[in-house]
Structure 1
Amino acid sequence: MEEKLAALLEEAVDGVMDEVIAFRRQLHRRPELGFETFETMELISKILTEAGIGHKTHCAESGVVARIPSKGSGHKLALRGDIDALPVTEQTSLPFASEIEGRMHACGHDNHAAIALGSALVLNRLQGRLPGETLVVFQPAEEGPTLPTGARRIMAEGHLDGVREIYGLHVSNELMVGQIGCRCGNFMASADMLNVKFTGKASHAAYPHKGVDALLVACRFVDAVQTVVSRMSDPLEPIVISFGRMIAGEAGNVLAGEAQLWGTMRTYNKELQRRALAAIEQMANETAAMYGATAEVKITQAIGSVVNDKRTTQKLERVARELLGEEQVVALENPSMGGEDFSGYLDAIPGTFYNLGTSDGVNREPLHSSTFDVDERALRVGVRLMCALALDPER
């Protein structure tokens, strides 16, 4: 980036950071779930309107897409920040802790939204230096559970038609403030939702031979299904199958006539994904039959794997090294088994997803924790980098 533009960027970023941090804290106080982020949408719209930034509301029901025009001939670029929270009860002592019981920005989307807002405000100030039109997406429902999630809804409604590259980020307490984590290719795994119901026959627990114990069948299945990981897939191909919820029976002295399981499967390999899902269904049916029960398997392919485009990843690394310093750009050795619906954009648009360091060296609380928080100095880093990507002349 040329010296004059770099100085203008720093000045513009400094000029919006108080508003960015205040906005983040307001979102943290008032977390909203899924597609019901209407209060958040209205707040974003109010700030954009006051700044004179054109935008659409009610995108994917309760999201916002802002447009920063340009007189340049470069192609259209998009920056994305998700805005929904999680059904988690906050246990921090923050002065701006969640005011809504059972809801919390435990995944850091309040920070993503604040960085997106700051980027829109800065790029609007530097509009004359933009090489091409830039869209800033404030996306609801990244976390689900309603499907399709927000990214696919944004795409299906045509809000990103004509976009040629897209960037998104996720806060990470595994990296220090000032660092970013990059990786070309596989970055995050696909996420399939599993629901398996076993139906047997209830009976008195003292006479188990007169019933079919659905709880026992479910336990046998949960144990057996791990052979899909240990014996039916290449040990060098990552795959995770986990069941986190089960409901069975109504009393301790009655064999369960029905048992229902909910879980997830994660992988990067589409062929392995296909074979593993088929094996899970077959194993459920065969385990049930072995004990005289029946099985019903429902599989929902929620999100695909996040696969970062080579060209845009190289651009991210180049811009980040110039802006943050060589040592601050961390090459991630392994992809994550976590899921992210940013894949809904990457299926159609070349782009890159990266991790933004938010740890101060003491705070290492993981995502989705009831005590999760970030060092707010990271917000400035995020705004600077997102804006630098948009201002880069190579588009």
Structure 2
Amino acid sequence: MSDLLATIQEKAARYAADTVAQRRHLHAHPELSFEETNTAAFVTRELEKLGLHPQPLAGTGVVALIEGREGGPTVALRADMDALPIQETNEVAYKSTNPGVMHACGHDVHTASLLGAARILTELKNDFTGSVKLMFQPGEERLPGGASLMIKEGVLENPRPASVLGQHVFPRLPAGQIGLRSGQYMASTDELYLTIRGKGGHGAMPESNLDPVLVAAHIIVAAQQIVSRRADPKTPSVLSFGKVIANGATNVIPDSVYLEGTFRTFSEEWRNQAHVLLRQLCEGLAASMGAVCELEIRRGYPYLENDPAVTARTKAAAAQYLGAENVIELDQWMAAEDFAYFSQAAPACFYRLGTASADGRFTSSVHTPTFDIDEAALATGPGLMAWLALQELAVK
């Protein structure tokens, strides 16, 4: 086993420059969710160079199978490929060439890492029993989530993986470390869209109007009691409104106010209950003030559950590969990820790849125009993913 570990580490180091080049190409040519046509074509070409036979799935997704010796299980490895509608401000040679589109969440890193892992595993296919399914997924950043579409189109069948592993960048940890958590790790997410209709008019004549701005203010404040007073305190919940449009003026009360928000939690039962309570509160409070509130709830991703057994194996294998001191226990996170669909459908582990540098650079958060990584992480990501996959295949 130690010989195999050393072999994977040596290959990962030898191919690191190629992985960096792949990541830089992807970073310079980002594509939005479900528009990853050129990205999918690039991934397909790279896999074909390895002698694999990639197939399209879910529109712009790509799936390939690395077959080792017959008779073993299958493990699936996932990378998402889409970018975000953000204008990059980094001044680097590989800066985005697509105006207003940027790999600000590290999906270029995920894709390049999985391509690197595929290269290593293809070269080692005579040394393991079973198969590795490579899932290059579109549309993680946009509902309904590419993971749900790939599952509907059979990505977890023929063959069905015994476990699924996913990797995501993490600028709070330095390159060379990973973080993970067993059990509930990331929250569900639902999108809230509210339109409050009243009667606009002159701001100096409120008695002649029905002010939807006032109604919206009451709803924003009152809705917080759903989390603070109706949720079980042991169940993390977040309700946030991030967009409010009241298109009036200093002396003009508008006819309507538009709001957008998010609701997140770790319980499907409470999630469903909260939807009912939100609707009752918004519609009832508006009606009590003489207005009308239309609430649309777009149900998003479920919460992400890391299987305890798979996560324990991932933690142990990562400690072998990186050293136990470089495997960090993480807290729950209220952000959401559509890898959650995989975690609900199969035993899974979603772990975080450190991307910061020791000198404190590359610490910008994901989803910002300055996000970038210490590319030393690309010497870690592919080899670790390959090693984790082989450890899963070795499970009796």
Q: Which residue of 2 aligns with 1:37?
A: 36
Q: State the shift of 1:47 in Å.
A: 1.2
Q: Which residue of 2 aligns with 1:377?
A: 376
Q: Which residue of 1 aligns with 2:60?
A: 62
Q: Which residue of 2 aligns with 1:354?
A: 351
Query: Gaps (5+ residues) in structure 2?
Result: none
Distance 2:63 2:316 in 1: 27
For residues 36-66 of structure 1, what are the alpha-carbon distances to aligned partners after superposition, in whole Å with 9 as ceiling and x for unaligned? 0001011111111122112112x11111112
For residues 189-216 of structure 1, what are the alpha-carbon distances to aligned partners after superposition, in whole Å with 9 as ceiling and x for unaligned? 0001111111111222221211211122
Q: Which residue of 2 aligns with 1:149?
A: 145
SS in 2 for 1:374: coil
Distance 2:293 2:73 in 1: 52
TM-score, normalised on structure 1? 0.96
Q: Which residue of 2 aligns with 1:327?
A: 325
Distance 1:219 1:121 in 2: 55
Distance 1:116 1:128 in 2: 19
Distance 1:204 1:282 in 2: 30
> How many residue pairs align between the two structures?
390
Q: Which residue of 2 aligns with 1:228?
A: 226
Q: State the shift of 1:160 in Å.
A: 2.1
Q: Which residue of 2 aligns with 1:169?
A: 167
Q: State the shift of 1:236 in Å.
A: 3.0
- Written as runs of structure 1 = structure 2, the 5 A alignment for 1:180-219 is 180-219=178-217
Query: Gaps (5+ residues) in structure 1?
Result: none
Distance 1:143 1:215 in 2: 31
Q: State the shift of 1:224 in Å.
A: 1.3
Q: Which residue of 1 aligns with 2:9?
A: 10
Q: Which residue of 2 aligns with 1:82?
A: 80
Q: Counterpart amino acid of 2:221? A: D
Q: Counterpart amino acid of 1:150? A: G
Q: State the shift of 1:250 in Å.
A: 4.4
The question of whether the paired residues in 1 share the 8 Å contact of 2:12 and 2:380 is answered with no
For residues 331-375 of structure 1, what are the alpha-carbon distances to aligned partners after superposition, in whole Å with 9 as ceiling and x for unaligned? 12x210000000111111111001111111313211111101111
- Written as runs of structure 1 = structure 2, the 5 A alignment for 1:276-315 is 276-315=274-313
Misfit runs of 4+, over 4 Å: none
Q: Counterpart amino acid of 1:360? A: S
The question of whether the paired residues in 1 share the 8 Å contact of 2:174 and 2:354 is answered with yes
SS in 2 for 1:263: strand
SS in 2 for 1:296: strand
Q: State the shift of 1:73 in Å.
A: 1.9
Distance 2:10 2:123 in 1: 10
More displaced 10-residue stretch of structure 1: 230-239 or 128-137: 230-239
Q: State the shift of 1:24 in Å.
A: 0.4
Distance 2:210 2:264 in 1: 32
Distance 1:131 1:382 in 2: 22
Q: Counterpart amino acid of 2:336? A: G
Q: State the shift of 1:4 in Å.
A: 2.3
The question of whether the paired residues in 2 share the 8 Å contact of 1:32 and 1:85 is answered with yes
Q: Which residue of 2 aligns with 1:24?
A: 23
The question of whether the paired residues in 2 share the 8 Å contact of 1:202 and 1:254 is answered with yes
Q: State the shift of 1:251 in Å.
A: 4.1
The question of whether the paired residues in 1 share the 8 Å contact of 2:301 and 2:341 is answered with yes
More displaced 10-residue stretch of structure 1: 231-240 or 173-182: 231-240
SS in 1 for 2:355: strand
More displaced 10-residue stretch of structure 1: 73-82 or 232-241: 232-241
Q: State the shift of 1:130 in Å.
A: 2.4
Q: Which residue of 2 aligns with 1:340?
A: 337
Distance 1:3 1:289 in 2: 69
Percentage of identical aligned residues: 38
SS in 1 for 2:133: strand
Distance 2:311 2:69 in 1: 26
More displaced 10-residue stretch of structure 1: 378-387 or 230-239: 230-239
For residues 107-127 of structure 1, what are the alpha-carbon distances to aligned partners after superposition, in whole Å with 9 as ceiling and x for unaligned? 111101111111111111111
The question of whether the paired residues in 2 share the 8 Å contact of 1:166 and 1:349 is answered with yes
Distance 2:175 2:221 in 1: 41
Q: State the shift of 1:237 in Å.
A: 2.1
For residues 280-318 of structure 1, what are the alpha-carbon distances to aligned partners after superposition, in whole Å with 9 as ceiling and x for unaligned? 111101221122101111111110000000111011011
Q: Counterpart amino acid of 2:335? A: G
Distance 1:304 1:351 in 2: 14
SS in 1 for 2:7: helix
Q: Which residue of 2 aligns with 1:114?
A: 112
Q: Counterpart amino acid of 1:36? A: E
